[in-house]
Amino acid sequence: MKSRSWNNPVITSEMKIKMRGWRTALGIAAYLGVLLLIGFLYYLAFIESSYAWNTSVNARQEAGMQIYTVLAVLQFSLILLITPAQTAGTISGEREKQTLDLLLSTKMSPFGIVFGKLISSMSYILLLIVTSIPLFSLVFLFGGVTPGDMAQLFLFYIITAFAVGSIGIFYSTLFKRTVASTVITYLTMFLAGLVSVILGAYMLSVQYSGAAPQPANPSVPFVLYVNPAVGLADILITEPGGFRSMFGIFVTGTAGGIDFWIMNAIVMLVIASILLLVSMHKINPVRRPGRKKGKA
């Protein structure tokens, strides 16, 4: 008897539909073209301003680090922009096509449906991330960036895409229309990022507003743990005089000596897991709260 533990029909069907045809290849080409164009334009601007007058090793490393940072921030922004569009219509789209009931009537569990929809929707994002690795590897020619740095960055990309995708899946089960779930997903991301930065800046200002120039035991405001942009900043900005030295708290990491971006990733994974569990509960056809048993 064949094992079907990893044979998810949703993943198989969605992957066949999404990966065949010319649109996927064209989307990947356009995505990489945007990254390459902006990186090349930034490189030209940099060498015209400073690198052309200084050919030292430090100048080359500085050029590599700045190009790497620009590409990293750009790809991070594209992931936040593309992922909700890929995931926010997964369940609501089935409702609009009136095929969700058929899907729920199969032998697949709510976990299999939600997990399959998430993985199939994220497959395109993962493909974009993987295909951009050779482009990012070009910065090795300048120095200043190690394979370990890039591994941390791409791991954080995947975790961020998973967390944002879980938000899209959650709203897709909550709303019946894809437009509504997509708009609310983007709005939630924007408000969560804005509110966390404002509250985090306020909490930091309170800590640093005492008589001493810096607090004896600074702590990371808890609201910043839900903001992946701050985690990206913790990964990228490591040079003296940067973001870490500005706020001090990021130099020594968080409680227990753990880097901030690791705690940020853990918090996002926990939130994503909770949202997926709620999504599974929402689409469970057996769930009938408050329903009384009928008489025979």
What's the Cα-to-Cα distance from 269 to each of 110, 273, 284, rounded to whole Å? 20, 6, 22
Assigned domain for 288 exists: no
- Taking the C-alpha atoms of residue 151 and residue 139, their distance in angstroms, rounded to an integer, is 14
Assigned domain for 296 exists: no
Assigned domain for 291 exists: no
Q: Specify the number of domains making up the chain.
A: 1
- Taking the C-alpha atoms of residue 136 and residue 206, their distance in angstroms, rounded to an integer, is 39
Whether the pLDDT of residue 271 is over 70: the answer is: yes
Tell me what the pLDDT averaged over the chain comes to.
79
Rounded to two decimals, the pTM is 0.82
Share of the chain above pLDDT 70, in %: 79
Assigned domain for 42 exists: yes
Assigned domain for 294 exists: no
Assigned domain for 90 exists: yes
H or E element at residue 154: helix 147-174
Q: Assign 211 a pLDDT band (cuts: 50, 70, 90).
A: very low
Assigned domain for 39 exists: yes
Whether the pLDDT of residue 269 is over 90: the answer is: yes
- Taking the C-alpha atoms of residue 193 and residue 228, their distance in angstroms, rounded to an integer, is 8
Give the model confidence (pLDDT) of 113-137 as tens digits: 888 888 888 888 888 899 998 888 8
Give the model confidence (pLDDT) of 4-51 as tens digits: 445 777 777 777 777 776 777 888 888 888 888 888 887 777 777 655
Mean pLDDT, range 71-84, rounded to an integer: 92
Assigned domain for 251 exists: yes
The domain in which residue 235 lies consists of 9-283
